[in-house]
Amino acid sequence: MNRSKEKDILVGQKDTFAVRFAFQRDPHGGQGATPEETLSWGAFEIWVDGVNLCEHLELSETIPSVHWYLLPVLEWLTANWDFLLHEERLPVKAGTGVAWLALEQTARPPAAISAEAVERWEERWQNWWSKHSLLACRQGGLFPSVVVRRWQDRIEFSWGDDSLAGCPEHYRFDMRPGFARLPPREVAGVLYEALRDAAQHLYD
């Protein structure tokens, strides 16, 4: 595995779609992390239609990047490649429209269904969420609430402001719910190149 600590990877165009991975030295010195995670410490940004989805406030200061271990993010994008780029249907029929909002509306099953139906509802919801929501790979990091899925002949990115467990009061993603739908070839090309370059840095 590459022992060099710093590398900045930016792929794509910020006004349409871009991904940035910046590998940096682990400020925690590897405490509580595996050696592989420690080497992957850094920052990332996701730009969709000119919006930086990782921009947030810390102590009233605007920070453009999320800082955390990048290995779980890289592994999640790789493991869920087909679902992110090809799976459209939402987990339950009650969910309609933009995926982020649909997930918010269907996070709790209706009160008037059986215990067995509740279990099926929650299982389907959780399974879909784990493959499409960026929060699924945060592993303690403070990530934006972004959902990615196929939508007809486009890739849909949708987002909003979720309350994160363990999030300090001085840290927040100050963005209104929104969405954008982009050409699949553009999204896949940017993600592939960014993942390839990140893997090359870590493992060459």
Enter the pTM of the model.
0.92
Residue pLDDT, tens place only, 117-169: 889 989 999 999 999 999 999 999 999 999 999 999 999 999 998 777 777 88
For residues 52 and 19, the answer to whether their CB atoms sit within 8 Å is no
For the chain, give the percent of residues with pLDDT over 90.
71
For the chain, give the percent of residues with pLDDT over 70.
96
Closest CA to 172 of 59, 69, 92: 59
pLDDT of 162: 73
CA 184 to chain centre: 17
Mean pLDDT, the chain, integer: 91
Residue pLDDT, tens place only, 60-75: 899 999 999 999 999 9
Return d(Cα 26, Cα 36) in angstroms, integer.
11
pLDDT of 64: 96
Q: Which two tokens stand for residue 55?
A: 């921009």
The residue with greater pLDDT, 91 or 198, is: 198
Q: Which residue has the tokens 């592939």?
A: 192
pLDDT of 95: 66
Q: Spell out the residues 6+ positions from residue 188 whose beta carbon is closer than 8 angstroms to its own.
A: 85
Residue pLDDT, tens place only, 13-33: 999 999 999 999 999 888 888
Classify residue 19 as exposed, middle or buried by CB count within 10 Å of its CB (0-12, 13-18, 19+): buried
